[in-house]
Structure 1
Amino acid sequence: MFTKPQDIVVALKLSLSNSISSYAELGKSLGMSASEVHAAVRRLQEARLLDPETKQVRFEALRNFLVHGVPYAFPVSPKAVTRGMPTAWAAPAMSDKISAADQMPPVWPDPDGKVQGAAVQPLYPSVPGAARRDPELYRLLALADALRIGRARERAIAEKELGLHLNRHAHA
């Protein structure tokens, strides 16, 4: 079974708490149905990114997949100009580390967004709403997008930041 883009969203959310309270609660926080979350957890277990017994994130495996798999499995190219929510290097997670004045900021199309930029398809349609509700998840999703669309420098910064997050939570 192949991993789907929403599985990455679920894995990143689980990396923040490393436990599943209920599929319904997790789904509500992510803007997904309980059955979508359950299926994502099953695929993550099959991909060996979650422990099947404890349902806890395997942090090193997740880091490796984010860095080496996600850019190829879920590539995206910024498209038309739209209003939305900043992602990748334009998001708060990286905006203080990257100066990208020569290009339009990447954004997730979002009617509530306040930034004009190049449209980037999020990993799942509910990502902007989930990111608004959870700033830490927003940070991780933006870093994952930097891996998906960034140049070498942006990808290196995102890899380092994701590694720090995953190491911190693995040893918490």
Structure 2
Amino acid sequence: MSVMKSQDVVVLLKLVSLQQEEETGADGIRSHLGAEAPYSVRGLESQLGISKTEIGASFKRILSNGMAIKDRTTGRPKPNRRNLYDFIVHGLKFVFPASPGAMTRGLPTAFCAPMLKSALLSAGNYIYVWPDPGGRDIGQSVSPLFKSVPEAARNDVRLYEDLALVDAIRLGNQREAGLAKERLSKRLLGT
């Protein structure tokens, strides 16, 4: 069994996002890929900004540790959504902790992300951001799970929301983390 790396969570969440797009019949995943298959190592590299070598290694890790299984018909990794949810909710903040850093320009995350900001009113003046020179917002920096997360999030709204919920669990107090867990459960498990 291989030890999880933070980019494995990003890859798994992207695979879930691709599955959700297939389930809803959305065809936006091919629009920015051209002829690349979205589930291919090359397709995931262009969508996530993670090298083909790292994506291949991630596939091996997630298959060996039960976070995904190989689909019998397509041969591609299929995330085990229950295991992914349990890991995010119960282990992620201990394995890949997050702590707010210096003020910087970036892309909002946690409950400061645009699609989540109305879900919870914050008493603080500061927002959390993933450092990103192209970002328009200024807030406390939070290291993303992988350095290319801001770019990947800009390209996929579903992935952005999932990663923001993950950060809400990593950073939030009990109330914020609880709400993030509920939303993530609906998104990953349908409950």
Q: Which moved more, 1:13-22 or 1:53-62?
A: 13-22
Distance 1:163 1:17 in 2: 17
Q: Equivalences for 1:84-163 in 2 at 5 Å?
A: 84-163=106-185
Q: Which residue of structure 1 lines up, in the alignment, with residue 102 of structure 2?
A: 80
Distance 2:94 2:39 in 1: 31
The structure having more radius of gyration, on CA atoms, is 2
Cα deviations by residue, 1:106-152 (Å, 9 ceiling, x for unpaired): 10011111111000000001000000111111000100111111111
User: Contact between 1:131 and 1:138, CA under 8 Å: does it hold in 2?
Assistant: yes
Distance 1:104 1:115 in 2: 10
Q: Which moved more, 1:90-99 or 1:123-132?
A: 90-99
User: Contact between 2:15 and 2:39, CA under 8 Å: does it hold in 1?
Assistant: no
Q: Which residue of structure 2 lines up, in the alignment, with residue 9 of structure 1?
A: 10
Matched, 1:61 2:62: no
Among all aligned residue pairs of Structure 1 and Structure 2, give the percentage whose two residues are the same amino acid: 39
Distance 1:46 1:145 in 2: 25
Q: TM-score, normalised by structure 1?
A: 0.93
Instruction: Could you tell me which runs of 5 or more consecutive residues in structure 2 were left unpaired when the two chains were aligned.
Output: 23-37
Distance 1:166 1:53 in 2: 18
Q: Which residue of structure 1 lines up, in the alignment, with residue 28 of structure 2?
A: none
Cα deviations by residue, 1:19-42 (Å, 9 ceiling, x for unpaired): 963111011100011111111111
Q: Which residue of structure 1 lines up, in the alignment, with residue 39 of structure 2?
A: 21
Q: Which residue of structure 1 lines up, in the alignment, with residue 68 of structure 2?
A: 50
Q: Which moved more, 1:27-36 or 1:92-101?
A: 92-101
Aligned residue pairs total: 169
User: Contact between 1:84 and 1:117, CA under 8 Å: does it hold in 2?
Assistant: yes
Matched to 2:145, the amino acid is L
State the secondary structure of the residue aligned to 2:186: helix
Matched to 1:111, the amino acid is P
State the secondary structure of the residue aligned to 1:92: coil
User: Contact between 1:85 and 1:110, CA under 8 Å: does it hold in 2?
Assistant: yes
Cα deviations by residue, 1:149-169 (Å, 9 ceiling, x for unpaired): 11111111111111101124x
User: Contact between 1:93 and 1:143, CA under 8 Å: does it hold in 2?
Assistant: no
State the secondary structure of the residue aligned to 1:99: coil
Distance 1:42 1:152 in 2: 34
Matched to 2:13, the amino acid is L
Matched to 1:138, the amino acid is Y
Q: Which residue of structure 1 lines up, in the alignment, with residue 57 of structure 2?
A: 39
Q: Which residue of structure 1 lines up, in the alignment, with residue 26 of structure 2?
A: none
Q: Which moved more, 1:88-97 or 1:17-26?
A: 17-26
Highest relative contact order (Cα 8 Å, sep 6+), 1 or 2? 1
